[in-house]
Amino acid sequence: PTAPPVVFHYIPWFGSAAYYGMDPYKFMFECRDKYGDVFTFILLGRRMTVALGPKGNNLSLGGKVSHVSAEDAYTHLTTPVFGKGVVYDCPNDMLMQQKKFIKHGLTTEALQSYASLMPAECHGYFNNELKITKANPGPKTVDVLHVMAELIVLTASRTLQGKEVRENMSIRFAKLLEDLDKGFTPLNFMFPNLPLPSYRRRDLAQKEMSDFYMSIMAKRRTGEHDHEPDMIQALQGSVYRNGTPLSDRDIAHMMIALTMAGQHTSSATSSWFLLHLAHDQDIQKRLYEEQVEYFGNPDGTFRPMTYEDTKKLPLMDSCIRETLRLHAPIHSIYRKVLQPIVVPQSLAAPSEDKAYVIPKGNFIVAAPGVSQMDPKIWDDAPRWNPLRWLVDGGIAKTANEQYQAGEKVDYGFGAVSKGTESPYQPFGAGRHRCIGEQFAYLQLTLVVGEVVRNYKLTAAQREFPKTNYQTMIVLPLDPKITFEARV
């Protein structure tokens, strides 16, 4: 069997690390031109086989559990941060059960309650931290990533994480989060354990964070704390199929994992979203008008959004979809190959007459962002154009239906496919697919909605910010926006 072609590189062990690390999409599009949809590159001694396009996504994300393993690809990065016994530090079947337990904290009822709690957090932040109000309207230029990181952590902690976490959003807690973050970088991915201070601080922060969640559970048991429904409550009492209950420590570690999964993905997405609004006054105006149309009171104030409301806003929804199309927070999804994977002929380079086989021991890499930005699939692919998702009445074929029918993908409000062979997968696909999508949509809709209701945004720089790929999550570089209170 023929192995996929290997990307040319000068330095044997180092391979393509510099190019891939600097701009993974540029690297992948260029390699696709040279080698086709499936190729292997060397990354610090590892053999990474990229499989591109909807079929490539399917090969990796739809792979059998006997053939591909997420835990073997991620555990050395995630276990020191989340803690032992959960997510990628346990057999896949246990992770699947943990994801079911987590869904109990993301039911419609829970999301309704979360929706009612988020706006107050935004208003408190606008008045006390951002300090741009009707009385003091600005303009004021801010680092939007910083602002959104704070709004996301406040709204998530008040809702998903629970009252006690919000009440303890102290300097100490922020420091622990920062130390965990600094242990969650490409360096940690490449070198799980180095004798560096950041690694030591990561380990100490994990322990302190875990103890903090455990103390909350202990106090709740004695009836010392009252609280709304939240994730800790949803997880307590969960029992694996074999009869083993989740321990407090398991729950603590799952809570850390959820914080890490939801914080940067959503703060990056909302930042990109606001940056596009600041650079596109027409869409910003329409988005404000959508808020007025659905929620405006005659006296110029707004009524709060319910969870149901958040699912009925065509333009808001399209803006989030379009932002995730161009700025999927996760550029590469990895799996370790456990058994040789036969690549269908249709995916191998057309000049090859033999099918490829990806050898055991390689990593297989999915990059849904490549098909999401592929000019062969999308009209005017590089342009942020939320209107592409809208048709009259807001209903359209899914991106996947259009793709399967051989059409260019241009719209699809309200129905993005969940299949593993799709050109649009910002939340992944298959058994490891994201379960936070609805929470993320709720949070993005409410937080951005509150920003748009209260502020006019303008670009503080003429150039749209460049992308920073040096972090685990795809972030905007030096993202400045000018806020001015609407009066």
Spatial distance between the Cα atoms of 217 and 222, rounded to a whole number of angstroms: 9
3-state secondary structure of 408: coil
Q: Least Å distance between CB 166 and ligand HEM?
A: 16
Spatial distance between the Cα atoms of 367 and 57, rounded to a whole number of angstroms: 7
Nearer to ligand HEM, 217 or 333 (CB): 333
Nearer to ligand HEM, 35 or 74 (CB): 74
Nearer to ligand HEM, 188 or 482 (CB): 188
Q: Least Å distance between CB 477 and ligand HEM?
A: 19
Type of residue found at 299: D
Nearer to ligand HEM, 113 or 133 (CB): 113
Ranked by CB distance to ligand HEM, the top (closest) residue is 436
Q: Least Å distance between CB 404 and ligand HEM?
A: 22
Type of residue found at 83: G
Nearer to ligand HEM, 105 or 183 (CB): 105
Spatial distance between the Cα atoms of 165 and 239, rounded to a whole number of angstroms: 24
Q: Least Å distance between CB 184 and ligand HEM?
A: 14
Kindly state the tokens that stand for 61.
């994300």
Residue 231, C-beta contacts closer than 8 angstroms, at least 6 positions apart: 102, 105, 160, 161, 162, 255, 258
Alpha-helical (H) ranges within 236-389 are 248-279, 281-295, 307-310, 314-326, 368-372
* Site of interaction with ligand HEM (CB under 6 A): 70, 95, 99, 102, 258, 261-262, 265-266, 269, 324, 329-330, 333, 426-428, 432, 434-436, 439-440
Nearer to ligand HEM, 148 or 460 (CB): 148
User: Is 332 exposed, middle or buried (CB count within 10 Å of its CB: 0-12, 13-18, 19+)?
Assistant: buried
Nearer to ligand HEM, 266 or 385 (CB): 266
Q: Least Å distance between CB 167 and ligand HEM?
A: 20
Kindly state the tokens that stand for 290.
């959508």
The answer to whether the CB of 274 falls within 8 A of the CB of 130 is: no
Q: How far apart are the first and last CA of the chain?
A: 68
Q: Least Å distance between CB 425 and ligand HEM?
A: 7
Spatial distance between the Cα atoms of 20 and 469, rounded to a whole number of angstroms: 9
Nearer to ligand HEM, 70 or 485 (CB): 70
Q: Least Å distance between CB 432 and ligand HEM?
A: 3
Q: Least Å distance between CB 157 and ligand HEM?
A: 12
Q: Least Å distance between CB 270 and ligand HEM?
A: 9
Nearer to ligand HEM, 149 or 440 (CB): 440
Radius of gyration of the chain (CA): 23
The answer to whether the CB of 136 falls within 8 A of the CB of 266 is: no
Nearer to ligand HEM, 77 or 324 (CB): 324
Q: Least Å distance between CB 309 and ligand HEM?
A: 19
Spatial distance between the Cα atoms of 239 and 236, rounded to a whole number of angstroms: 9
Q: Which is nearest to 20 in space by CA: 176, 215, 263, 186?
A: 186
Residue 280, C-beta contacts closer than 8 angstroms, at least 6 positions apart: 384
Q: Which residue has the tokens 């006690």?
A: 164
